[in-house]
Structure 1
Amino acid sequence: MMLFGGKVVATLGFGLGHSLGPVFVAELAPVKMRGVCLALVNTMIVIGQWLNSVAVLGSKHYNNDMAWRIPLITQIVPPALLLIALPIIPESPTWLIIHGRPDEAVKSLRRFNGPSFDVDAAMAVATIAMEKEKAAKKEQERSSWIECFRGTNGRRTLIIVMVYLSQQTIGVNFISGYLTYYFRLAGVNDPLAIGQAAYAIQLFGNMCSWPLVDRLGRRPMIVGGVFIMTALLLVIGGISTIGSQAALSATVAFMCIWGLLYHATLGAVAYTVGGETSSVQLRHKTYSINIMCSTAASCVVFQVMPYLLNTDQANLGGKICFIFFGLSLPMCSAAPRPNKSNIGIGFSYLVRRIRWI
């Protein structure tokens, strides 16, 4: 019961960080670096998963409670570092303008955009937008959440939710979350050690997304990545039906390749799309809706996965990929995100210049 309570508290913190973090980054990052900065959110997730796996590897030799206590204790380090850094992290310029602190908003904009940034123009646009929002606040107070589903805002919400749901339907919780367990079922010697190599490959894939997210564009990376990963799911599922040790080893190799592609495309770019697609006024609400939908889907997957994978139950092994293959087929489209400011993106939606495919 104590562990369950701790998990509930940790999940609350995860939900807040997952909802507010990308929104905060999208507001502070310079336009030219916003795609990379948002992709770094996934980089931190991969690094965290890897470090947790290292902690499990380091504690596997214990035959007492320390075997599970050490991985839990090490998770205190990231939030502790964040608490130390909080005093030097500037506030969001948008929040400062809303609360009547324009001078601090100017300092925040200059700090993150450099001395050559046109602060006056940015402040003028932001101030006008905030004034209009305040004027309409009373009228929209009761229907503000409904606004996320109307007109162009509804289109934005659908795009973000679709991209994030595709992370769940394409099988990341199986291939990344149950990677080490599957390695053991596949007969891999020392699966925890091999898992470190798999995480290193995933981190390398994520780093590949940094220069590509703005050069190739969001939509080509997402759609291209989803198509290739969907094909690999079919390959992994097909090889798993053979049942030989050589076939199982091949599925392990293809899963490592899949992990590299996921973190180079959908895994990283989803945070870029989520952070910059919604309107400035509804960004927090839109992203909250997105996280709720994504978390609900993730909970379903995590509840079902043990029954599908455990040897004393369905024991599907790699054939689980057939299920995710079917689920991922519809999730092969997304709107492109040009390298524009938030105001420019909003204007593009209003004049319907961005295709919906």
Structure 2
Amino acid sequence: MVAKNRARSASADSGRHRVAVFVRDGLLPMELGLVHQLFGQARSEAGEPLYELVTCALRPGHVRTDTDFPIVVEHGPEVLGEADTVIVPASHEFDTTETEGRLSGPLADAVARIRPGTRIASICTGAFLVAAANLLNGRRATTHWKSAEHFRKLYPSVRLEPDVLYIDEGYVLTSAGEAAGIDLCLHMIRSDHGSAIANDVARATVVPPHRDGGQAQFIKSPVPEPEGSSTVKARAWALQNLHRQLKISDLAGQELMSNRTFTRRFREEVGISPGQWLSQRRLEHARQLLEDTEMSIEQIADSAGFGTATSLRQHLQTALGVSPSAYRNTFRGTSVVSGADGGDRLG
């Protein structure tokens, strides 16, 4: 079984799977806390802890965070050599993993302590360290979407997938932003000990056991708008008329061009076809309406030019991996709670 394979190793002292959390200056406290919270809540049927967690750093002592308080770490990198799983949170202080695409001497020495076969997982931009250790070459990986392009430049041999919440490549796992670290930790607990225990941890922490979709749903305005181009008037007009069933000739007519010339100019200036641009803008408008209004799915589909709710659902599912209702619930918190009087109130 997967649980037996993944959780086969255990600390000799406790008999529990040992998780070492390797922190650096610039640590995001939330990322350290979520690891301890989630793995720390995993219990056997007898109520015994399933994991032993140890925090370590390059050297014992104070570690700076990205807040106004430090943390005190009692253990140095020797802990990495005793771990069954190593988790690398992000740091907001750039080191050579993010500036030069390599491990510094002290980081290289620390990583070298990790035993072969140890499971290694990163949260957010912790993926830079894992990539610098040559553990992601030829593998799929993810990181925070804001750092995706920089990651690609530094580590071209890694198959980066910036639209997902986390990726499991066997003994190397990566996750996106801070909250995606929750998804990854629950996934590892689920892989080690099954869905029932992972679900219990999720309930105790009041988070969903599994989230649909990926990072794409959290990226705002993904399509840049070039200024001072020969198609800018057509694009501005189209944004005011998204509810209409637009044709290439409608847009080309705004610039007094032929369809062929307009399409060529549009690709040169925007980088995609008019049809692709229009679909992306319709989707962006629909997302805004889902977030900011009480309009029905049918009304939003009509306003954004999708025509039908079915068409909107298909486009949103393809682009973001979620339904319109799930997207709205995520960004508006529209869960309904029954009141004592039998009415409904928004929770």
Give TM-score scaled by structure 1 length.
Answer: 0.23
Q: Which structure has the greater CA radius of gyration?
A: 2
Where is the helix percentage greater, Structure 1 or Structure 2?
1
Give TM-score scaled by structure 2 length.
Answer: 0.23
